[in-house]
Structure 1
């Protein structure tokens, strides 16, 4: 038995040495990839310890060198300019790896659950035409295969490929429409890394220690029911589908998730804030984090859906975050609304404005403050230029309450872009909530036609 164990160990060591005796790279470094332009980009991989690794790039005459650690791991920083055209990267040791057709542009990670995962092939508006017109060599896709792991992994299953009708139809539709708009506006290549899994709560996308070391998050995680269609163990997807990407240089993150956290909606602000902070900490960068507010949907009795929406609104307190609205393009009877084009375009408009200095007016009205004025309550919004009620749906969605916190429908008027509320049943209004229901669809818009977020001041 001891001899068998010794031989097994020897065989394992031989195989391990053989695996890393030649230069090898994670799959995210491959032909057709997009690297972030105008940046210091880390390239890493494995090779035999002590082996000299030489790196040569087509955009620079200098040759860089490094040596692996005793663990076989090596890394090096490449400075990327803002140039067009296909590039090559050659990495040499005992063998040679050549990365061809590499573009320098803008790289975004898209993640979340099914609405971000949803592809044109799954059913979207105008799918046939959009698929047919999807050929664009300046947009590149990398799809992370669905996997879980008990601990953080070093590599992924995936490969880079250009946008074609065949590849686009199975890729995230929102990400594609985002990328197409970005490519049109910036005239640079766009790289999109798609790491999504339908039906998953935020807890599975977070590092394990974040939940384990936080009593509130641990309590919240226990409220997520077990299901057949996806993992529920905290960190299990993060370990396999996010950790191996880090520290690949990206410009920012797009996120669409929350429907699977309606079971612990009261904790979602803490959950989501913790996820954003943990990813930024792992990347060691205050990355732009833009997310979609989930659309109204019939989750049954109670306020679980709208509580998640309001939590997402409150997470905007974190710096360098932004939220796109979906309430006006959702479907209360279908948790997967078919209008993915507008979601992608709204993400793009937000990113172009916040991350690239464009002026595209991407902001929806956001509750700012409430002021009592006798029997009236005045509601002030940010981004409130030319605030108006939807002519097809003018019924008030505002409710107000006094010290007893009993809410009553309020009459609504808009004066100088300020909402004025009043109810005969509330003599001294103190609290207000708006569009406060799982299926409530906002009916207040600003001058760019974006709907106000639901909110409550009760908490």
Structure 2
């Protein structure tokens, strides 16, 4: 009994020593801003700007920048945050001073437009692989970037790895977007690039969303009980000489842990919004979540039909994380591609009924139900055989137009024609459009990509004719047309644009 008592006393003393050491470490920690706050950073104009970091508990911290002097006191854990008042844009770099028991000076800080660019491989796709984008590099000005280190964490991290650079982002889409946005706005543009190839949306979802998303709850329950997977993740992260390609793929195809390491620590850094180019990984199934085997373990993701609902909830959750209900989200529509799902990989790329990416595009367009959202239309882009097409420059241009309208607050048309209604007139259907001034085709031929159906649900190619800002559809094989599908296929042949040369958005009016 004496021995057990001595052992118990020894454990208590050990825990006490550990507690005293931990408290001492917190009490003695040096003043340090979060890693996002470093030389060459870009701050968001016209917005409150949170600045945060660590210090000793109760230490008074003062931030001085652009004529503002703001102070606060760190909490008992040493956490502090100050919010600078909204500022006008400035191309001239200035110092930010953060002072307490010591002083930290951050140099060459400018104020402009900040956007987070995230997603999977097509967002990560390098500038060097797109000659049209690469050719703009010598003309690029006032573009800065912060590339988030690609890593994972089993718990939500407080800080992110990376640093601001005066160089352009190494992403063809992000760079093109920044280039044209800087041209439109004439202010510095800062891109925070946080992307990783083949990642699903589930990889970027915070764990607390298991309460809202039943499929994600199932995924995370399985993940939490999967001791082998978590052990392998820890083992990979601790490798002294880096990861193998197999390790890299294994990490980026897991749920939640990319969010923990690569997105959570970014909040609430002030930004105009987030550009999201992701979805390819979630096109493997039309609907539902498949059972997995040893060979297809990475398929445990939502299907295309469910993606829209998930994406909308995800946006609302991110706005909460950023403490900004007005945070903008711009979605890059998946472009043309000629393969189908895992169950039906070989499809007719122009078929309006195939299990194609058309269903994912329909889901992506559901974000327009939320305020401060936009979808960059890419229906005329892509490659029938290559999931990584090189036509990234038009995507950047269209994103910049969408963002520019929010910045300049003018009435310029920044999207292609959008279907606003249809009328059935005898044996024809008339499609009415908005943003249809100068409605035309790119090649002077009749509009292509339209299909008609009656109550049978059998689809027939339609003959289309432009009349003003409408398109009139007929088919000799459909005497009583009820429904229309436009560009609703994997890789449709489309040519309908407005006077801005922007393509018409895909749509369907049926619910088959």
Q: Residue 317 of structure 2 aligns to a residue in which SS?
A: helix
Displacement of 1:341 in angstroms is 1.9
Per the alignment, do residues 456 and 219 of structure 1 end up closer, same or farther by CA in structure 2, a change over 3 Å counting?
farther
1:437 paired with 2:437, answer no
**Residue aligning to 1:54:** 62
DSSP 3-state at the match of 1:329: coil
Hey, what's the Cα distance between the residues in 2 that align with 1:16 and 1:237? 30
Q: Distance in 2 between matches of 1:24 and 1:453?
A: 48
Q: Does 1:86 align with 2:107?
A: no
Report Cα offsets for 1:11-52 as digits up to 9, x if no partner.
Answer: 576367436621012110111101112322111111111222
Match runs of 1:76-115 below 5 Å? 76-82=82-88, 83-115=90-122
Equivalent position to 2:145, from 141, 145, 160 = 141
**Does 2:430 match 1:409?**
no
Task: State how many pairs are aligned.
Answer: 447
TM-score of the two chains, using structure 1 as the length reference: 0.89
Shift of the 229–217 alpha-carbon distance from structure 1 to 2, 3 Å rule, reads closer
**TM score, norm. by length of structure 2:** 0.81
Residue of structure 2 aligned with 1:71, choices 66, 77, 81: 77
Compared with structure 1, are the counterparts of its residues 395 and 382 closer, same or farther at alpha carbon in structure 2 (3 Å cutoff)?
closer
Larger Rg: 2
| Aligned counterpart, 2:182 | 183
Q: 1:289 aligns with which of 324, 329, 354?
A: 329
Runs of 4+ aligned residues of structure 1 deviating over 6 Å after TM superposition are 219-222
**Counterparts of 1:218-367 in structure 2 under 5 Å?**
218=217, 228=249, 231-263=252-284, 264-285=303-324, 286-299=326-339, 300=345, 301=347, 302-367=354-419
Name structure 1 gaps, 5 residues minimum.
none
Paired with 2:505 and 2:159, the residues of 1 have a C-alpha distance of 39
Q: CA deviation at 1:55?
A: 2.3
SS of residue paired to 1:304: coil
Cα distance in 2 between the residues matched to 1:333 and 1:381: 31
Output the CA distance in 2 between the equivalents of 1:229 and 1:295. 26
Q: Deviation at 1:229?
A: 5.6
Q: How far did 1:182 drift? A: 2.1
RMSD (Å), alpha carbons: 2.7
* Aligned residue in 2 for 1:204: 203
- Structure-2 change in CA distance of 1:204 and 1:54 (3 Å): same
CA shift for structure 1 position 235: 2.1
Output the CA distance in 1 between the equivalents of 2:493 and 2:320. 36
Which SS does the other structure have where 2:431 is aligned? strand
Report the more deviating stretch, 193-202 or 9-18: 9-18
Mapped to 2, the partners of 1:110 and 1:273 lie a distance apart of 17
**Equivalent-residue separation in structure 2 for 1:187 and 1:33 (angstroms):** 17
Q: 1:430 & 1:219 partners in 2: Cα distance?
A: 40
CA contact (8 A) 1:296 1:440 kept: yes
Alpha-carbon separation, structure 2, partners of 1:355 and 1:318: 19
Contact 2:379–2:506 (8 Å) recurs in 1: no
Q: Distance in 2 between matches of 1:5 and 1:174?
A: 57
Q: Could you say which residue in structure 1 is the equivalent of 2:157?
A: 153
In 2, the alpha carbon distance for the partners of 1:306 and 1:144 equals 31
Task: Report how far residue 92 of structure 1 moved.
Answer: 1.6
Q: Does 1:35 align with 2:43?
A: yes
* Separation (CA, whole Å) in 2 of partners of 1:63 and 1:314: 43
Q: How far apart in 2 are the matches of 1:190 and 1:395?
A: 38
Cα 1:5–1:368, aligned 2, differ >3 Å: closer, same or farther? farther
Checking the alignment, whether the CA contact within 8 Å between 1:17 and 1:48 is kept in structure 2 is no
Residue in 2 aligned with 1:374?
426
Equivalence map 1:112-131=2 (5 Å): 112-121=119-128, 123-126=129-132, 129-131=135-137
Tell whether the 8 Å contact from 1:217 to 1:270 is kept in structure 2 after alignment: no
Q: CA separation in 2, counterparts of 1:375 and 1:315?
A: 34
Mean Cα displacement is larger for which, 363-372 or 298-307? 298-307
Hey, what's the Cα distance between the residues in 1 that align with 2:220 and 2:493? 29
